[in-house]
Amino acid sequence: MENECCPKFDPKPWEDHEFTWEEKLFVKDHMRCILHIPLNFGGIMTRQMKVMDAAGACPEAADFLVMTGNETLWGADVYLAATKDVPGEKMVRLSGTFYSRVYEGPFSRIGKWIADYKATLQGMEKPVKELFFYYTTCPKCAKKWGKNYVVIIGRLK
């Protein structure tokens, strides 16, 4: 089997899916951005993967999840799913009802995706409290697989 850092993403389980998380555990970090363009995302991923691996907190590839949230022009929080607490790292647990929708294409479409996502939930009369963005593969693997999927996950009110 060819070496891969990101497994091929199956969008079906995430497409228009409502689900509940109870205390889902994440390592939380923060990346710097300039006008939404990440500056240190790769460094965060490299560092956190080493720390999480050393702590035995990395989930299996099928359960690996990296999200961003609380985005501004100058930064965003990064959430990495973990199987247990990682010493020395900020840990958060997310609980609630969430709704996910899958988008595919260049990141430049994110504004249109967000508008579509919000319109879909408004039509369903489901207000959104907070948005997260699940980046399913790194840029290298997105190119290898020929698809650049992003899942928008909203915590419902």
Domain assignment present for 5: no
pLDDT digits (tens, 9 = 90+) for 40-50: 888 999 999 99
Domain assignment present for 29: yes
Rounded distance, CA 82 to CA 62, Å? 13
pLDDT at residue 64 is higher than 70: yes
Give the residue numbers spanning the domain of 133: 13-156
Domain assignment present for 138: yes
Domain assignment present for 1: no
pLDDT digits (tens, 9 = 90+) for 111-143: 899 999 999 999 999 999 999 999 898 888 888
Confidence of residue 17 (pLDDT cuts 50, 70, 90): very high
Domain assignment present for 4: no
Confidence of residue 37 (pLDDT cuts 50, 70, 90): confident
CATH number of the domain within which 105 lies: 3.20.80.10
Mean pLDDT of 92-121: 94
Please give the pLDDT value at position 30: 95
pTM of the model: 0.90
Domain assignment present for 24: yes
**Based on the structure, what is the number of domains in the chain?**
1
SS3 state at 116: helix
The 10 Å Cβ neighbour count of residue 156 is 16
Domain assignment present for 67: yes
Domain assignment present for 46: yes
Residue 9, φ and ψ in degrees, nearest 5: -85, 135
